[in-house]
Amino acid sequence: MNAQIARFRQYLVYEKGLSPKSVEAYLHDVQLLADFLGEDKIADATFEELQKFLKHLYESDFNARSQARIVSGMRAFFRYLIYANVREDDPTELLDAPKIGMHLPDVLTVEEIQSIMDVIDLSTPEGHRNRAMVEVMYGCGLRVSELVTLRLSNLFFEEGFIKVVGKGNKERLIPIGKTAMKMVNLYINGKRKLLKIKKGEEDYVFLNRRGAHLTREMVFMLVKKWVAAAGIDKTVSPHTFRHSFATHLIEGGADLRAVQEMLGHESITTTEIYTHLDQDYLRTNIALFHPRY
């Protein structure tokens, strides 16, 4: 690995606090540029050389989304070089990333979410845990990683908030509703107390039968099972509940910046996709109900 790329890796890990997967993705994309230019030339790359690299990606059948991601990785790398006083200019400033269009994620209706909750059997040992998980995923708009690492010490039910640790180890407070609090309390004070909890796992909220915190993969499997049982013909993952949380708030008139804070988006442009979902919702309603549409 080129010395500058190695230092870039340290910067991503220790300065930016990125997850291992994000760091790996950035390094992979920058290494593609190093392979194209030569590792000894990457730090001195010019705008023209970067254009030639993008042309190479296009001719190598990289799709628009992959090209845009690689451009994002290059921008991060050259900004790091400026931060590290290796160079003064950013050759990516005028670089145009391919337009990939807007991706509107699948969302669940309120009725579909209720149907998923209804298929969870509360008489089973995991029933109250599973119902509480869905209530928290949808009620707080959590990422699956935030759900499985949620801790008892971060539940502030008297104040009506929970604290989660999101991307880049950034903490945020999220309001939690009465229904979600009720289901979490039923689980914590019920079946969870009967588990033999593994050492070091005592503070995690959601545990498996062996007393260890749940994995992301387990939550994905459970969601797939519930969706099939509810007869919902959509591509649904744990993240779909997060999309649905944001969409329903925007449709109900919530302030965009409030939704941004609750989702933990660093930039409001990431949250703005839900305004487009809202416009689609409005357009659909006009088409259905306006006599002259």
Q: Which residues pair with 163 in a beta bridge?
A: 173
The DSSP secondary-structure symbol of 215 reads P
Residue 222: name the closest of 136, 139, 129, 108 by CA: 129
**Active-site residue numbers?**
143, 167, 239, 242, 265, 274
For residue 231, the number of C-alpha atoms closer than 13 Å in the C-beta half-sphere is: 3
b/e per residue 119-136 (b: at least 16 CB within 10 A): ebeeeeebbbbbbbbbbb
- Residue 165, C-beta contacts closer than 8 angstroms, at least 6 positions apart: 146, 149, 171
Distances (CA, A) of 96 to 34, 47, 70, 146: 19, 11, 12, 34
b/e per residue 21-41 (b: at least 16 CB within 10 A): eebebbbebbbbbbebbeeee
